[in-house]
């Protein structure tokens, strides 16, 4: 058995589990070895109950079960399991939700190591809710550092950990290292084998750190190599330049004047795509970066206008249906004025509707096509395609960009991104693209007044919501993301309970909906659409509200447990309001006493410039968060380059070293065609391939 052996070779992995693993991109033992923990829990720190009361963070307890567990149904689909447990300093309640099967696990007299945070119940009892637990038989040696994995469907945290462990023991002996010993020494990195072993079963956090440095380095190095190779392929192609094209009619058709920054980006496109004389040119490969609300859509539309004016077609791909609709509704009437036809293509359309779009495309009846992944369908043929645009590019893989471009021989490429990333990072992450930066907001843009409050303000907050909704405004309430493990279960429950309380007790007369990440995407879209049509007053959401969604009537953004979000994320969320004429507000709710968390919230309260915020985020938390947005589930499933560990990188120097090393390798051999780079090239090809592409 080796890295290439399929997961079904493992005992206990049948068809069903294999399918669940495949959904997470795990097809082979090698994939499982590279399924890095999401985080680690340090259970080394054992405390007595008496000392742990009031502590902010989770710790371990060695407790004896005092009473047999009792199981009660508190609602349809919800049960609660409870028992008493004690150590020499006190007794507490241990509580699990929706886990009736645990009833037989705990019996009086048994000892367990629990890991969790003590809380106080409504009836003032000290409790441990949904703790992690391991039986602590006499003399048992429990690992101090416990890796926590993302949990695929049909697995539990324990069973996925065991699956990874088994895969590792079988495949590790045959793992080869793409780096030479000399290279490893030069950059002070451990071997691949050692790194994999320590990532999954570390003795202490120092081992984890060292091992992670290696995987993060490797990943970013290959990422940089791949991007560069991809681009040099593209550069080799050419297409006919458009003649110089007058943009004045387009600009005059807009209801406003473009800002200087927008104009600069528009001239970048003209320069990329148009020439005075008839000649062949390299296609435009450009990224348009601008803060939320900086007006990227209309700038992109200028590139579309250039293209359509010259008798060619354009396509725009966005990550969600709601965004596709929004762009369609905004842009179709604009191009209609010039006699150009725009069409929408999204997954939820009926087969007949889709087929009529396919036919219209082939018959040259459609000039501009806007849609989701549905654009990648093999039936979509766009014979005169000369411009492809992808919006919010971090959601799409490099390869998807390529797939869309393949719809024609060669076309210009424009990528839009609303993630204001620091310049140093932009240069490396988007190193394959030319950059147009919109660093100026349209005039008269209102500032979203931002407040930080703790939960004692709840009543006043409700009154504020009431005032704004009475006045016809709409409100977003965002709770932290649901984590996919047992702990997440209770987090989801608390968000559900919160939404229910608002609905039934606080605002029974208002229209409230609840949106969470585990919903099917069409269900999510339906709710978002209802909110944007003002069929809802309040939207409670555990998932980050779709990037780019535009509901101008929304005027209040409340973010619960704000300390749990990254700065850039908070800024993005705040950007969902203040988009219309209503005076808008953002309220960050947090009880955190942590000094750095308070400082971060203060940064958001006082800073409105997305780039300054992004710089502060990079400074405070390292580059991991930026990579995290690239490695989310959707990205991985959509055939992109899967970054598996870079989000754990909190070391800016390490990142810069990896990119510098890649540049050095390429400086010596730009196409990696020399024999000594054979394995590198294979690795790059494998990482960027379509193997994981699950598009339909």
Instruction: Give dist(CA 304, CA 341) in Å, integer.
Output: 12
Shortest distance, position 662 Cβ to ligand ADP, whole Å: 31
Are 473 and 553 a contacting pair, CB within 8 Å? yes
Instruction: Give dist(CA 31, CA 236) in Å, integer.
Output: 33
Shortest distance, position 261 Cβ to ligand ADP, whole Å: 9
Interface region with Mg ion, contact rule CB under 5 A, candidates 262-270, 440-448, 542-550, 595-603: 542-550
Which residue carries 């009529």 as its tokens?
Answer: 356
Does 390 engage in binding with ligand ADP (CB under 6 A)? Answer: no
Which residue carries 């429950």 as its tokens?
Answer: 493
Binding-site partner at residue 258 among ligand ADP, Mg ion, none, CB < 5 to 8 Å by type: ligand ADP
Are 560 and 551 a contacting pair, CB within 8 Å? no
**Which CB, 256 or 462, lies closer to ligand ADP?**
256
Choose which of 17, 200, 296, 524 interacts with ligand ADP (CB under 6 A): 296
Pick the closest to residue 404 from 381, 388, 384 (CA basis).
388
Instruction: Give dist(CA 273, CA 370) in Å, integer.
Output: 21
3-state secondary structure of 50: helix
Does 320 engage in binding with ligand ADP (CB under 6 A)? Answer: no
Choose which of 50, 244, 256, 336 interacts with ligand ADP (CB under 6 A): 256
The alpha carbon of residue 485 and the mean position of all alpha carbons in its chain are separated, in whole angstroms, by 17
Shortest distance, position 609 Cβ to ligand ADP, whole Å: 15
Are 559 and 570 a contacting pair, CB within 8 Å? yes
Please enumerate, as own/partner, the contacts of 491-500 that have beta carbons within 8 Å and a separation of 24 or more: 491/542, 492/516, 492/518, 492/542, 493/78, 493/97, 493/98, 495/540, 495/542, 498/540, 498/560, 499/540
Shortest distance, position 317 Cβ to ligand ADP, whole Å: 15
x/- string (CB under 6 A) for ligand ADP, residues 510-549? Answer: --------------------------------------x-
Choose which of 388, 474, 550, 645 interacts with ligand ADP (CB under 6 A): 550
**Which CB, 29 or 334, lies closer to ligand ADP?**
334
Choose which of 290, 397, 488, 610 interacts with ligand ADP (CB under 6 A): 290
3-state secondary structure of 149: coil
What would the two tokens of residue 356 be? Answer: 């009529």
Does 259 engage in binding with ligand ADP (CB under 6 A)? Answer: yes
Q: Which helix (H) or strand (E) holds 97?
A: strand 90-97
**Which CB, 197 or 571, lies closer to ligand ADP?**
571
Instruction: Burial-class residue 396 by CB neighbours within 10 Å (0-12, 13-18, 19+).
Output: buried
**Which CB, 431 or 552, lies closer to ligand ADP?**
552
Choose which of 29, 94, 208, 298 interacts with ligand ADP (CB under 6 A): 298
Binding-site partner at residue 262 among Mg ion, ligand ADP, none, CB < 5 to 8 Å by type: ligand ADP
Shortest distance, position 695 Cβ to ligand ADP, whole Å: 25
Q: How big is the site for ligand ADP, counted in residues (CB under 6 A)?
A: 16
Does 419 engage in binding with ligand ADP (CB under 6 A)? Answer: no
In the chain, DSSP finds a helix count (H) and a strand count (E) of: 24, 27
Q: How far is CA 594 from CA 456, 490, 605, in A?
A: 18, 23, 16
**Which CB, 258 or 512, lies closer to ligand ADP?**
258
Interface region with Mg ion, contact rule CB under 5 A, candidates 262-270, 354-362, 446-454, 543-551: 543-551
Does 297 engage in binding with ligand ADP (CB under 6 A)? Answer: yes
Q: What is the CA radius of gyration of the chain?
A: 27
3-state secondary structure of 290: strand
**Which CB, 309 or 327, lies closer to ligand ADP?**
327
The alpha carbon of residue 316 and the mean position of all alpha carbons in its chain are separated, in whole angstroms, by 21
Binding-site partner at residue 295 among ligand ADP, Mg ion, none, CB < 5 to 8 Å by type: ligand ADP
Count Cα neighbours of 351 within 13 Å in the Cβ-side half-sphere: 0
Choose which of 226, 295, 473, 640 interacts with ligand ADP (CB under 6 A): 295
Shortest distance, position 414 Cβ to ligand ADP, whole Å: 13
Does 292 engage in binding with ligand ADP (CB under 6 A)? Answer: yes
Shortest distance, position 533 Cβ to ligand ADP, whole Å: 17
Which residue carries 């007595």 as its tokens?
Answer: 48
Residue nearest to ligand ADP (CB): 295
Does 548 engage in binding with Mg ion (CB under 5 A)? Answer: yes
Interface region with Mg ion, contact rule CB under 5 A, candidates 174-182, 200-208, 534-542, 545-553: 545-553
Interface region with ligand ADP, contact rule CB under 6 A, candidates 96-104, 224-232, 245-253, 290-298: 290-298
**Which CB, 49 or 315, lies closer to ligand ADP?**
315
Phi, psi of 238 (to 5 degrees): -140, 160
**Which CB, 113 or 579, lies closer to Mg ion?**
579
Pick the closest to residue 381 from 404, 414, 413 (CA basis).
404
Binding-site partner at residue 259 among Mg ion, ligand ADP, none, CB < 5 to 8 Å by type: ligand ADP
3-state secondary structure of 418: coil
Shortest distance, position 645 Cβ to Mg ion, whole Å: 30
**Which CB, 26 or 300, lies closer to ligand ADP?**
300
3-state secondary structure of 148: strand
Interface region with Mg ion, contact rule CB under 5 A, candidates 511-519, 541-549, 651-659, 684-692: 541-549
Pairing of strands 280-281, 239-240: antiparallel
Does 294 engage in binding with ligand ADP (CB under 6 A)? Answer: yes
Does 610 engage in binding with Mg ion (CB under 5 A)? Answer: no
Choose which of 10, 148, 161, 258 interacts with ligand ADP (CB under 6 A): 258
Pick the closest to residue 150 from 680, 667, 645 (CA basis).
645
SS3 content of the chain, % helix, strand, coil (to 5): 45, 20, 35
What would the two tokens of residue 192 be? Answer: 């691949």
Pick the closest to residue 313 from 414, 408, 415, 244 (CA basis).
408
**Which CB, 555 or 661, lies closer to ligand ADP?**
555
Shortest distance, position 572 Cβ to Mg ion, whole Å: 11
Binding-site partner at residue 294 among ligand ADP, Mg ion, none, CB < 5 to 8 Å by type: ligand ADP
Interface region with ligand ADP, contact rule CB under 6 A, candidates 15-23, 112-120, 148-156, 287-295: 287-295
Pick the closest to residue 34 from 686, 693, 694 (CA basis).
686
Q: How big is the site for Mg ion, counted in residues (CB under 5 A)?
A: 1
Instruction: Give dist(CA 483, CA 657) in Å, integer.
Output: 32
Residue nearest to Mg ion (CB): 548
Pick the closest to residue 512 from 498, 494, 493 (CA basis).
498
Shortest distance, position 292 Cβ to ligand ADP, whole Å: 5
**Which CB, 295 or 397, lies closer to ligand ADP?**
295
**Which CB, 114 or 335, lies closer to Mg ion?**
335
Under rule CB under 6 A, which residues in 558-577 are in contact with ligand ADP? Answer: none
Q: Which helix (H) or strand (E) holds 235?
A: helix 205-235
Site residues (CB under 5 A) for Mg ion?
Answer: 548
What is the binding site for ligand ADP (CB under 6 A)? 256, 258-259, 262, 290, 292-298, 418, 442, 548, 550
């Amino acid at each position: 058995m080796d890295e290439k052996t399929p997961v079904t070779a493992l005992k206990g992995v049948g068809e069903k589990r294999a399918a669940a693993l495949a959904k997470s991109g795990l097809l082979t033992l090698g994939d499982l070895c590279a399924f890095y923990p999401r985080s680690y829990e340090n259970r080394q720190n054992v405390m007595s109950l008496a000392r742990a009361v009031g502590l902010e963070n989770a710790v371990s307890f060695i407790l004896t079960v005092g009473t047999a567990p009792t199981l009660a149904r508190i609602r349809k689909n919800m049960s609660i399991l409870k028992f008493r447990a004690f150590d020499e300093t006190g007794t507490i309640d241990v509580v699990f939700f929706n886990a009736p099967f645990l009833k037989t696990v705990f019996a009086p007299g048994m000892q367990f190591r629990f890991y969790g945070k003590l809380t106080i119940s409504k009836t003032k009892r000290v409790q441990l809710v949904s703790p992690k637990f391991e039986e602590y038989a006499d003399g048992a040696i429990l690992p101090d550092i416990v890796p926590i994995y993302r949990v695929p469907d049909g697995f539990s945290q324990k069973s996925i950990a065991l699956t990874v462990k088994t895969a590792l023991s079988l495949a590790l002996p045959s793992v080869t290292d793409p780096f030479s010993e000399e290279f490893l020494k030069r950059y002070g990195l451990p071997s691949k084998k050692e790194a994999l072993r320590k990532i999954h079963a570390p003795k202490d956090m120092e081992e984890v750190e060292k091992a992670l440095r290696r995987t993060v380095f490797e990943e970013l190095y290959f990422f940089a190599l791949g991007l560069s190779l991809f681009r040099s392929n593209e550069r080799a192609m050419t297409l006919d330049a458009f003649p110089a094209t007058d943009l004045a009619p387009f600009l005059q058709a807009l209801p406003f004047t473009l800002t200087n920054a927008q104009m600069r980006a528009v001239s970048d496109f003209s320069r990329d795509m148009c020439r005075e004389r008839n000649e062949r040119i390299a296609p435009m490969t450009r990224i348009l970066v601008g803060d939320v609300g900086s007006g990227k859509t209309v700038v992109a539309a200028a590139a579309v206008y250039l293209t359509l004016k010259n008798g060619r077609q354009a396509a725009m791909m966005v990550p969600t249906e709601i965004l596709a609709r929004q762009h369609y509704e905004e842009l179709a009437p604009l191009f209609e004025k010039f006699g150009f036809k725009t069409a929408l293509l999204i997954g939820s359309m009926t087969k007949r509707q889709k087929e009529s779009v396919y036919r219209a495309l082939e018959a040259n009846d459609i000039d501009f096509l806007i849609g989701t992944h549905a654009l990648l369908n093999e039936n979509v043929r766009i014979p005169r395609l000369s411009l492809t645009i992808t919006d919010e590019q971090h959601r799409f893989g490099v390869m998807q960009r390529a797939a869309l471009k393949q719809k024609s021989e060669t076309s210009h490429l424009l990528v839009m991104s609303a993630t204001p990333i620091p310049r140093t990072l932009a240069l490396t992450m988007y190193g394959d693209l030319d950059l147009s930066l919109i660093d100026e907001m349209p005039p008269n843009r209102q500032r979203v007044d931002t407040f930080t409050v703790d939960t004692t303000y709840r009543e006043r907050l409700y009154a504020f919501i009431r005032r704004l909704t009475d006045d016809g405004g709409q409100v977003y309430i965002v709770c932290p993301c649901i984590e996919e493990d047992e702990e997440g279960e209770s987090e989801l429950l608390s968000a559900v309970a919160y939404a229910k309380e608002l609905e039934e007790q606080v605002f029974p007369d208002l229209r409230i909906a609840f949106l969470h990440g585990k919903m099917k995407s069409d269900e999510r879209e339906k709710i978002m659409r209802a909110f944007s049509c003002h069929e809802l007053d309040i939207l409670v959401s555990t998932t980050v509200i779709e990037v780019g969604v535009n509901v101008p009537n929304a005027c209040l953004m409340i973010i619960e447990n704000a300390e749990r979000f990254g700065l850039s994320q908070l800024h993005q969320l705040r950007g969902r309001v203040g988009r219309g004429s209503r005076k808008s507000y953002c309220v960050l709710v947090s009880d955190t006493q942590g000094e750095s968390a308070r400082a971060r919230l203060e940064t958001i309260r006082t800073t409105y410039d997305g780039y300054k915020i992004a710089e502060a985020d990079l400074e405070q938390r390292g580059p991991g968060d930026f990579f995290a947005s690239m490695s989310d589930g959707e990205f991985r499933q959509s055939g992109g380059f899967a970054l598996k560990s870079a989000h754990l990188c909190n070391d800016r120097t390490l990142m810069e070293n990896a990119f510098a090393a890649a540049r050095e390798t390429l400086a010596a051999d730009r196409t990696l065609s020399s024999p000594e780079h054979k394995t590198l090239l294979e690795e790059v090809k494998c990482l960027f391939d379509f193997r994981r592409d699950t598009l339909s």
